[in-house]
Amino acid sequence: MRPKLTLKQIARELDVSISTVSKALKDSPEIGEETKQKIKAFAKLYNYKPNNIALSLKNRKTKTIGIIIPEIVHYFFTTVISGVEQVANEKGYNVIVCLSNNSFDREVLNLDLLANGSTDGFILSLAKETMQKEDYHHLTEVINQGMPVVLFDRVVDEVHCDKVIIDDIIGAKKAVEHLIETGCKKIGIISTVDYVSVGKLRTRGYIEALEENNYPVDEDLILKIEDMGNSEKEIGEFLKTRDVDGLFAVNEQFAVSAIGALRRQGRNVPEDVSVIGFTDGELSKSFIPSLTTVSQHGNRMGAEAAHLLIDKLERKPDEVESYKTVIVETSLVRRESTKN
């Protein structure tokens, strides 16, 4: 077991000073050609690599960005991470991932921990609990200390920083309009309770699309799922008494549950009922029939967030502060669960 090589050891070995070694390795003109060659050869031979921690301490920057998400076993979030990772890597940054598990306390804990020197900035999506509590002091504090923060997906007006979101309303409208265009006359929606912002926004898009096309808005065709664990049953009962021919589900899971329920009731998708989902995950692609969905482009969101963050990190200190919020467009992915 051979421990890591340091400048000091090279210096001792070659009988020069530490600074000479450092300068030689950086090809400084201060050092004689001969000495430089000798040092470089030695360093290469023994595979010297500078210690990141020491560099971080010296430079007061770590070249790593922290990303805190509510959960990781979730297709959308993994695509976001993937997007972040990709541009971070291109720009020479590392990514450190922490999970809040939708808990406020863990979000605060992780943020505190990483803020003490471990990362240069944050990309994060708020925990559900945090949004309920409406307590964002941990974020504002970190921002006050000069750390850039980028919020994505689950964002909130109270925090002043860069943001990356999708336009849920427009996305939902696209979905419903597609149903209308393909001939659906009676369109229902399976959504979530309103305090989940995406549920609220997507429901709004649904209503707007109907109104703009002079379809009546029937409250009876709007299902708001309270308990995710019991969604399967709720959806089944809802559909039993609604003779819709089009259905917009605000996530993949609901869409799949709906199709299952419909099938059990002897209704075919898409012949009898067209179904459209939100979030383009594994399920949508592989399900039979494959699901027409509104894609959120998590990858692109992650990439945008990383760009925003790194821009802030590398901006000259004299540039003026300004916060952008970029909206990444959703797009409709047509598959088999809707008519053509």
Partner DNA sequence: TTCAGGTCCGAAAACGTTTGCGTGTTGAAA
Partner DNA sequence: TTTCAACACGCAAACGTTTTCGGACCTGAA
Residues at the interface with a copy of itself (CB under 8 A): 1-4, 47, 49-54, 56-57, 62, 64, 71-75, 78-79, 81-82, 85, 89, 94-99, 106, 112-118, 141, 144-146, 253, 256-257, 259-260, 263, 281-283, 286-288
19 binds, among a copy of itself, DNA, none (CB under 5 to 8 A by kind): DNA
For the bound state, the minimum distance from the C-beta of residue 48 to DNA, rounded and expressed in Å, comes to 7
Alpha carbon 161 to chain centroid, angstroms: 16
Edge-to-edge strand ranges of the sheet holding 246-249 = 222-225, 187-192, 246-249, 274-278, 292-295, 331-333
153 binds, among a copy of itself, DNA, none (CB under 5 to 8 A by kind): none
For the bound state, the minimum distance from the C-beta of residue 118 to DNA, rounded and expressed in Å, comes to 13
E strands along the chain, which residues?
A: 64-69, 94-99, 121-124, 149-152, 162-166, 187-192, 222-225, 246-249, 274-278, 292-295, 325-328, 331-333
Q: In terms of CB distance, is 53 or 217 closer to DNA?
A: 53
CB contact at 8 A, 7 and 22: yes
34 binds, among DNA, a copy of itself, none (CB under 5 to 8 A by kind): DNA
213 binds, among a copy of itself, DNA, none (CB under 5 to 8 A by kind): none
Selection from 157, 119, 159, 127 nearest residue 143 by Cα? 159
Q: In terms of CB distance, is 58 or 137 closer to DNA?
A: 58
Tokens representing 189? 């929606």
For the bound state, the minimum distance from the C-beta of residue 50 to DNA, rounded and expressed in Å, comes to 4
Pairing of strands 187-192, 162-166: unpaired
Selection from 258, 104, 298, 278 nearest residue 199 by Cα? 278
Residues at the site binding DNA, with contacts judged by CB under 7 A: 4-8, 15-20, 22-23, 25-26, 29-36, 48, 50-51, 54-55, 57-58, 60
Q: In terms of CB distance, is 22 or 102 closer to DNA?
A: 22
25 binds, among DNA, a copy of itself, none (CB under 5 to 8 A by kind): DNA
Selection from 40, 55, 46, 42 nearest residue 4 by Cα? 46
